[in-house]
Structure 1
Amino acid sequence: MRVGIIADTHGFLDPRIAEQLAACDVAVHAGDIGGAEVLCAMQPREEVYAVRGNVDGPQTWPDHEGHMLENLPGQLMLDLPGGQLAVLHGDSYNSSQRHAQLRESLAETRAIACGHSHELVVDDDKYPWILNPGAAGRVRVGDGPSMLILVCDEQHWEVETHRFPPRKYRAISGVNGD
């Protein structure tokens, strides 16, 4: 099974990441989504799972998408071949102790997917693994948008990292009378 893991899109999903998600069985968004348009752009073969981030609120989502926002959990557990993946944004954990705190509070899982820092991290030295895909949009992407793909079966889990070069996005002239 291929599980695409992203976070921190803030209303924009980089098309190169959307293309990678389309080749996955399942896609996971670890919060700071920024609107339903991002979730709709995630097109894996089977299912999309998402959790609410600290900036996913009525002030950042369009009014007509409020019903979708209300249904986003703060955390979820996915049963995958070979173990459980916990998904949460991670903003409620102390940044200097985040990995230790996550491991302590979710010790029964095989891995934890989280976001918030916009930094790509694969901490697989001990269980549960901490998997932070970095930022998959265009806000604070530093070295470029990034994501993770978890390839798993009953016996083996492996993580692929994907980072794309940063792009400059231009406004389109002629829109709204410009």
Structure 2
Amino acid sequence: MRSARTTRIGVVADSHVGEFMAALPDSVLEALEGCDLILHAGDLSVPAVLAELDAIAPVVAVRGDHDRLGGLELPDSLVVAAGGHRIGLIHGHRGHLVDASIVVAGLAAGRDVPYRAGMHRALARRLGPVDVIVHGHWHEPVAEWTGGVLRFSPGAVCPWGSLHGGAPPRDGAAGVVDRAVRRFRRQLGPGAMRPSVGILEAGSGGIRPRTVVLGHE
């Protein structure tokens, strides 16, 4: 049983509903049952996702680089106070040229490249003083402490993006991107290829992060 002073926070990112997935999987909602608050770190990609999550707990969300939300306005970043901690929420993209250079460097090296330290600094500068940086974008579960600040990514609900469900690469330049991103994600390891969400237990005793791998649907 959780302490009365502990807040259970569900963390979701990169659901891509309406873009690469037809609907939010039931396993997401099941994994988040009992949460006091839900954070969505962008790439919803349709507003209906927020309504589904809000049926479980209040939702706070930021805009991702794939979001086309019509009249719904979401901030690029924000800071939430929960469980006695300041939690910075941001999607995690750093501009197309920076992101593309990371992917190209990884492909050229044929292995995972150490891009994460630079990302922590970049996101920290944009969010200011926080206890936790929550982000998505890279579709990779991360729970790392740097200088007393936790950087947490839950992974992605739709980790394969445009290749979800075994879809073939798209035509033309988009297909080249699809193949490159697939190779890059394989280099990140199996955790970057499984759908997942996250849980943060935040309270007077600190913050405990956990990744919840979802069943395939």
Under a length normalisation based on structure 2, what TM-score does the superposition of the two structures give? 0.66
Query: What residue in structure 2 maps to residue 84 of structure 1?
Result: 86
Query: What residue in structure 2 maps to residue 106 of structure 1?
Result: 127
1:52 paired with 2:56, answer no
Q: Which amino acid aligns with 1:81?
A: G
Q: Which amino acid aligns with 2:198?
A: L
1:147 paired with 2:197, answer yes
Secondary structure of the 1:22 match is coil
Label 1:146 to 1:126 Cα distance change in 2 as closer, same or farther (>3 A).
farther
Paired with 2:138 and 2:37, the residues of 1 have a C-alpha distance of 23
> Structure 1, unaligned stretches of length 5 or more?
168-178
Q: Which amino acid aligns with 1:67?
A: G
Report the aligned-residue RMSD.
2.1
1:3 alignment partner, one of 9, 12, 17 = 9
Q: Which amino acid aligns with 2:74?
A: L
Q: Which amino acid aligns with 2:48?
A: E
Name the % identity.
29
Paired with 1:31 and 1:16, the residues of 2 have a C-alpha distance of 19
Label 1:85 to 1:120 Cα distance change in 2 as closer, same or farther (>3 A).
same
1:159 paired with 2:209, answer yes
**After the TM superposition, which of the residue ranges 134-143 and 84-93 deviates more from structure 2?**
134-143
1:23 paired with 2:34, answer yes
**After the TM superposition, which of the residue ranges 116-125 and 29-38 deviates more from structure 2?**
116-125
Shift of 1:104: 4.0
Label 1:107 to 1:76 Cα distance change in 2 as closer, same or farther (>3 A).
closer
Under a length normalisation based on structure 1, what TM-score does the superposition of the two structures give? 0.79
Secondary structure of the 2:32 match is helix
Q: Which amino acid aligns with 1:135?
A: A
1:35 paired with 2:71, answer no
1:136 alignment partner, one of 149, 157, 160 = 157
Q: Runs in 1 of length 4+ with deviation above 6 angstroms?
A: none
Aligned residues: 158
Q: Which amino acid aligns with 2:11?
A: I
Label 1:101 to 1:127 Cα distance change in 2 as closer, same or farther (>3 A).
farther
Per-residue CA distance 1:58-107 (angstroms, 9 max, x = gap): xxx4xxxx222xx2111111011221000010102645221222234435
Structural mapping, 1:167-178, within 5 Å? 167=217
Q: Which amino acid aligns with 1:87?
A: L
- Decide whether the 8 Å contact of 1:114 with 1:132 is kept in 2: yes
Shift of 1:45: 4.8
1:74 paired with 2:76, answer yes
Secondary structure of the 2:31 match is helix
Paired with 1:138 and 1:125, the residues of 2 have a C-alpha distance of 25
Paired with 2:193 and 2:91, the residues of 1 have a C-alpha distance of 21
Label 1:5 to 1:44 Cα distance change in 2 as closer, same or farther (>3 A).
farther
Per-residue CA distance 1:11-46 (angstroms, 9 max, x = gap): 142211111223201011000001012111114654
Query: What residue in structure 1 maps to residue 179 of structure 2?
Result: none
